[in-house]
Amino acid sequence: MSGALVTGSARGIGRGIVLALAAAGHDVAVHYRRSADEAEATRAEAEALGVSAVALQAELTDRAAAQALVAEAHARLGDLFVLVNNVGNYLHKPLADVSLEEWDDVLATNLDATFVTCRTAVPLMRATGGGRIVNLGYAGAQQLVGRPNQTAYAIAKTGAVLLTKAIARAEAANGITANVVAPGVIESSATKPLGEVPAGREGRIDEVVAAVRYFVSPEAAYVTGQVLEVAGGWNL
């Protein structure tokens, strides 16, 4: 089965995605930055599902390291059919209080790293006849609404949506799809404004995972450039 790299997959949503892909028969690369023990545990869980699994460390704000991660995943797994960009630091802070370092970090982890990994993966996918790219977004990022406490994050995720749509259009003829899964308030979220969620509850990690799994599945081969919000009606 084809190889899959999930960034930030030692724990949380990323872990859920990598285990779901392993259960579907994909060989998987578990990426981590500092959580070596958790990454190894996730790798072992994935391998127990009957696939090959490797744990790879990289600091994705380092562009060379991000490129090397994709190349190593491709080499270790034998190919790279699936790339899921899950890494992205969240910041909830009044705009006037955001430091230059915080601004750079949010843009680097959510947008720049996504561009670099996609840019590196696309030629590899072309060479093997196609692939699936799924980028994790943010519910409401397409609305272009001012968000004074989440400005950097919202800008980065809106950028990721536009990047994904551009890749989808450019690579459709090459058998590569690119889509966005945009979570809202999830059980692992740093902030939980449940009063704004029409469904009245937080989402589960497995509900986000199911959306990613759909975009990777054979049934979604003709679906590209789409944003699927897993948000219980938030931001509608």
Residue 155, in any domain of the structure: yes
Residue 224 DSSP SS3: coil
User: Can you give the residue range of the structural domain that contains 114?
Assistant: 3-230
Residue 132, in any domain of the structure: yes
Residue 235, in any domain of the structure: no
**Displacement of CA 57 from its chain's centroid (Å):** 16
Q: What is the mean pLDDT of residues 82-108?
A: 96
CA distance 141 to 158: 5
Q: What is the mean pLDDT of residues 52-56?
A: 98
Residue 219, in any domain of the structure: yes
Q: How many domains does the chain have?
A: 1
Residue range 115-154, pLDDT digits in tens: 999 999 999 999 999 999 999 999 989 888 888 999 999 9
CA distance 184 to 175: 29
Whether 1 shows a pLDDT value over 70: the answer reads no
Encoded amino acid at 62, one letter:
D
Residues 184, 141 contacting (CB under 8 angstroms): no
**Which whole-number Å values give the CA distances from 16 to 149, 155, 230, in the listed order?**
28, 26, 15
Residue 73, in any domain of the structure: yes
Q: What is the mean pLDDT of residues 34-43?
A: 96
Residue 137, in any domain of the structure: yes
pLDDT for res 101: 97
Residue 23, in any domain of the structure: yes
What percent of the chain has a predicted confidence (pLDDT) above 90? 92
Residue range 13-27, pLDDT digits in tens: 999 999 999 999 999
Buried b vs exposed e over 174-212: b needs ≥16 C-beta within 10 Å? Answer: eebbbbbbbbbbbebeeeeeeeebeeeebbebebbbbbb
**Which whole-number Å values give the CA distances from 26 to 4, 11, 37, in the listed order?**
6, 18, 22
CATH of the domain at 59: 3.40.50.720
Which H or E run includes 69?
Answer: helix 63-77
Given 138, 153, 214, 222, the catalytic residue: 153
pLDDT for res 235: 84
**Closest-CA residue to 213 (of 51, 8, 11, 22):** 22
138 a catalytic residue: no
Residue 236, in any domain of the structure: no
